[in-house]
Amino acid sequence: KENLLEVKNLKTYYPIKGGFLRKTVGHVKAVDNVSFSIKNGETLGLVGESGCGKSTTGRTILRLLDSTEGQILFKGQDITKLQGKSLREIRKDIQMIFQDPYASLNPMQMVGSVVSEPIMNFQKKSLASLKNEVIELLRKVGLPEDAYYKYAHEFSGGQRQRIGIARALALRPKLIVADEPVSALDVSVQSQVLNLLKELQDEFNLTFLFIAHDLSVVKHMSDRIAVMYLGNIVEIAEKESIYEEPKHPYTQALISAIPIPDPRKKSNRIILKGDVPSPANPPQGCPFHPRCPQAMAECSLSKPLLKEVKSGHRVACHLY
Ligand code: SF4
Ligand code: MG
């Protein structure tokens, strides 16, 4: 299968303004030299603690944020500098599902109009055919037909996320960036929404960049997983390799934090010391070294690069 998306050496830095002249005095390196690709129809899980740069990566790919350096190739075309009409064209193909269905929908807008909006922005359609299309979308995401005339505030969290999904699907996108789409929902509803996303993926041949803050949510969804820490990808591999033989000490800690359902097994949770350092002032050497249980002398001196340790399994750590 071909790559739908290829991200090469992507950097997204935010300027830090200081002094009363508001001069740039430094940068927050939110995304610092990130590279990965996603094949057509595949789901890449992007995992890391809050503030690690995963949402910024997603928003940069969506062209909601400007990159500082690097390339975003979509179907082979570099989209990092697109403007105007050509950017509009790309917007049809890349859509987003947001974390918070309460915040991302206008509660006073009728659901029919919420889902119609992206279609009307791009296509001329009769009201009747537009309505048919929207009702069909509502049906596909598991909402009743009469949802069309209701308001977003009349729905539960899970149903609102379904409205958000219908809206994201309206233009038949190729790539969907789903930024923690279930983390604001009750646990009981989460798996329903995840299952729906999987069904829709098959039906619409969707490719997902699926962002999450822990490894349990992405397990079900992903084909491959990338783990981010302080703006860097520290490990990327097939899902099975990540869960069965995590190589990076940070990934190992994240895996150990997944609750074990079997009460007879004792958990070997690795507790990391300290907090994530500020991306405005990242540590020298390996960004993880102040917290790493296996840090060695060289870890504070030189930054490890992503290296392939096995076919398709890359790790940035001096242990390998
Ligand atoms: Fe730990 Fe060193 Fe590997 Fe960084 S490079 S993860 S500090 S062992
Ligand atoms: Mg986020």
What's the confidence (pLDDT) of residue 97?
Answer: 95
Chain segment 206-218, per-residue pLDDT in tens? 999 999 998 988 9
Q: The domain that contains 19 carries what CATH number?
A: 3.40.50.300
Q: What is the pLDDT of residue 17?
A: 87
The ligand whose atoms approach the alpha carbon of 59 most closely is: 2
Q: Which domain holds residue 229?
A: 3-315
- HEC sequence for 217-235: HHHHHCCEEEEEECCEEEE
CA of 128 to the centre of ligand 2 (A): 38
State in Å: Cα 11 to ligand 1 middle.
22
Residue found by looking up tokens 């591999």 in the block: 237
**pTM, whole model, 2 decimals?**
0.94
Asked if residue 183 is part of any domain, the answer here is: yes
**Ligand 1 site, residue 286, Cβ cutoff 6 A:** yes
Task: Name the closest-CA residue to atom 3, ligand 1.
Answer: 317
Domain-embedded: residue 289: yes
Domain membership flag for residue 24 = yes
Identify the pLDDT of residue 21: 82
Specify the 3-state DSSP secondary structure of 38.
Answer: strand
Interstrand relation of 207-212 and 43-47 (parallel, antiparallel or unpaired): parallel
Q: Flag whether 99 is in a domain.
A: yes
Give the ligand 1 atom nearest the CA of 287.
4
pLDDT > 90: percent of the chain: 76
| 301 Cα: distance to centroid of ligand 1 (angstroms) | 11
State pLDDT tens for residues 116-165: 999 998 888 999 999 999 999 999 999 998 999 999 889 999 999 999 99
pLDDT of residue 214: 86
Q: State the closest ligand 1 atom to the C-alpha of 300, by its place in the atom list counted from 1.
A: 7
For ligand 1, atom 6, name the residue with the nearest CA. 317
Q: Which protein residue has the closest C-alpha to ligand 1 atom 7?
A: 289
Residues of the chain with pLDDT under 50: none
Distance, CA of 320 to CA of 243 (rounded, Å): 18
Q: Give the count of domains, the chain.
A: 1
The residues, any chain, with a CB within 8 Å of residue 126's CB and separated by 6 or more, are none
- Assess if residue 320 is contained within a domain: no
